[in-house]
A and B are shown apart, each in its own frame.
Chain A
Amino acid sequence: MPRPFLRPTEQEKKKFFESQSTKEQSRVMNSATIDVSLRKTRSAEYVKQFSKLDIGGKTWNLEQMNQALQIFDFEFSELPDESKPVGIVAACDLGAPYEVHTLDMQMETIVHYKKGHKLPSQMEKARGLALHPSYAFVEVYTDHLRVIEKNGEVSVIEDV
């Protein structure tokens, strides 16, 4: 029986596999981890909370807002602040003439928008998707959108 000429020793094999996880790997680790984390299916509680921003009327009281922010912080607890969504856009259930509403995570405010009224710059791009029946809401980031389905699964739209 012929023997392979290039049969590697156990040590060589180990070295070979280790070489594949090089410095490059550690360099991209942070952004990779963030991306993987943001891809994770959102929790049912989070989806429920943020797909119904109009529950209880047009505005939230302090208690409601605090509860929502707690859920939000818990959902993104692994992430640095700059990687978290800057806002959320969802379809509005208040009825005509209201169409969508936004939650500004920095200002911690909810605004309901009527048909034809423009949303603040980055959020306008999420409008159509927020109205799509397959999606619960859209998370708006500084440079991209993440569309959340009713079951919490995530789709990404880059370069917006």
Chain B
Amino acid sequence: MANQRVIHKADLRAIEKNLSNIHSGIEHMYHYVMSVQNKVQETETKLDQLSNDFYTFLQEELYAKQLQLAETRLVRVRQKLEKEYGHYDDIRRRATGILQAIDVGIVRDEVVTNTTEEFMLSAPKYWLAPCLVALSAWIHDDKEIAEKALHEAFRRNDQKTALFFALIMRRYDRLQASTLWLESYFYLQDVHAIDREVVVLLDSFTNGVFNPQARQLCLRQVEEWYKTVNSLEPDAHKSWEEPLKQFIAPREVAQEYPYLARYSPTFEACKNALEFAHSHQLLLDFLQTVFGGNVQPLQRVHDAVDEMLAHLVTDFDEEELPLRQDDRLLNLIIDENGNKERAQARFQQERSAWEQKFSFRELMKTLAFFPQSVKTTKATQRFALAFCKEWLVHAYKDFTAHHRQAFPTEVEIEIEGWKGRSRDGTNQKELVASLTEHLKKKYKKQGKIKLGKKHIFAIAGGGILSILGFALTPFHIAFLILGILGLAGPGWYLWVRRQNKKAHRLAAEEKKEEAINALLAIIAEIVDWRREYMKADEKGTQVSEFIDSIRKEQYVQAQFDQARAIHTS
């Protein structure tokens, strides 16, 4: 009886209470960690926004400064032009002034003679001064002075002189003389290095300033140049691809297709393809604008010639070219609101307009796409496009094929380390299944709890304590409590594992749902993007049809003649 032991029912309430406390502690910690994670994400988004805003601010600040600088420099360039070449302006204005004064016969011969002679003294190197002296002498029938002055004008600039007199002769209906001057002018030209003022000649030609015989001569010469270039450079049309790039306008594709932008490594190619496809419409608009509507012709041949003369004497003096280039670039920067890169890209496109000499290929390209840079009329732009239609067709076709080749037939997708690809979204089912499988594996792997020090301590310590407790129980009943207490360690581990698994399962479910939704959204965007591309790309047919409909012989005017010239293509 003395050896009889009384085993009381163990009071485990304290252990249960502690376990419960630990549980609520862990739960609290879990929620705390989740809230911290949300805050981190929120902060990241705000930081991104802030960095974007800051970048935009810097960009705007830079553009504002560049705009201001361009405006200041433009004033300086114009002052320099005025200072260095301002006296030419006076002569230029008077060239047409003299002609108009003679027309109405209200200026005395002596005044005209004196004025032109003064020009000779004030502009020692300028070609126009002896031209005006020769003109004045011709009007007063002074052959000797006229010939001497012409010699000097030819010495200073033979090509401009020839063109100047071709126009003057046309003004006074000396048609045969005008044609002879034109012949002289053409004789001086080289197809690879045509002088800049040829622009005036073509402008006069397309605006019907010349008589039918001179027009035939011009057309024959232009055709001769065209044939020569084609035979020497079979890929002459290649340089016409360059201006077509200007019709590829940047678009906010990332905003239209946000999932594609975020999850597709092919996004850049998709964006480029879409921007290219929309260029068909822009090119079509450009062509319709150029060929649409009527060109308003001037009423009298005198006015037309005077306009060409003013153009010839004002815009084509090589000495002023560097300053005029600066002027144009600064104007482009102002046009682009301070965006220097874009202005320089535009300037680069019309670069050939600012060379001292044109090759025929570059000349026609400039007239067709950048007429504003050489100040030619819409009639000349139409003529250039129509005359070089074959180059335009080839350039457009090659340009289109080149960009279509870069079209991403299949769009790559990358979500949570999973990679897939889709052409038109028809494989949606397979993609969803593949992504689900991937996520299942991924989260299963991640769901396994790694044993930390505290877990090992809890399992090992608790286990040893428990074994010891139960082993020593026969010696004293109090060891039983130790044994039971020891079980709390492994018990705690099992409980933590279960809780973690539960939390992980919930998070994994959430992530899976997000990933699948993202995939479905991308597929929907691929379908829309492809549809938009196809629709925009179809406009290419309209562009081709429009170019086909252009007839080159339609674009030379003849409004000042009774007789009409017949052009053969």
Contact = CB atoms under 8 A, between A and B. Distances in A.
A153 interface: yes
Interface string B160-204: 001001000100001001001101100110010000000000000
A58 interface: no
B224 interface: yes
Contact of A154 (B180, B397, B402): B397
B187 A25 contact: no
Given A2-B146, A24-B232, A155 B401 contact: yes
B404 A25 contact: no
19 contacts: A1-B174, A2-B138, A4-B183, A5-B150, A5-B154, A6-B158, A7-B180, A7-B183, A8-B184, A20-B191, A25-B231, A28-B234, A127-B409, A128-B405, A132-B404, A134-B404, A153-B397, A155-B397, A156-B394
B319 interface: no
Contacts of B405: 125, 128-129, 145, 157
Interface stretch (A32-40, A47-55, A65-73, A104-112): A32-40
A26 to B, nearest CB: 10
B231 A21 contact: yes
A6 B187 contact: yes
B285 interface: no
Contacts of A32: 231-232, 234
Contacts of B401: 129, 135, 145, 147, 155-157
Given A35-B234, A132-B404, A155-B401, 9 more contacts: A5-B154, A6-B187, A6-B188, A12-B187, A29-B231, A32-B232, A128-B405, A129-B405, A154-B397
B88 interface: no
Interface in A76-93: none
A8 B224 contact: no
Nearest to B426: A96
A35 B234 CA distance: 7
B150 A2 contact: yes
B154 A36 contact: no
A61 interface: no
Contacts of B400: 155
Contacts of B228: 20-21
B151 interface: yes
Interface string A122-140: 0001011101101100000
Nearest to A27: B232
Contacts of B224: 17, 20
Contacts of B402: 157
Nearest to B159: A6
A21 B229 CA distance: 10
Contact of B187 (A16, A28, A31, A157): A16
B151 A5 contact: yes
A129 B406 CA distance: 9
A145 B401 CA distance: 10
A3 interface: yes
A7 B162 CA distance: 10
Contacts of A131: 409
Contact of B398 (A5, A24, A28, A155): A155
Contact of A35 (B138, B235, B397, B398): B235
A28 B150 CA distance: 41
Contacts of B234: 28, 31-32, 35-36
A13 interface: yes
A155 B548 CA distance: 15
A36 B75 CA distance: 51
Contacts of A12: 187
Contact of A156 (B165, B184, B398, B537): B398
A73 B138 CA distance: 68
Contacts of A24: 232
B407 interface: yes
A13 B235 CA distance: 28
A29 B165 CA distance: 39
A7 B184 contact: yes
B540 interface: yes
Contacts of B235: 35
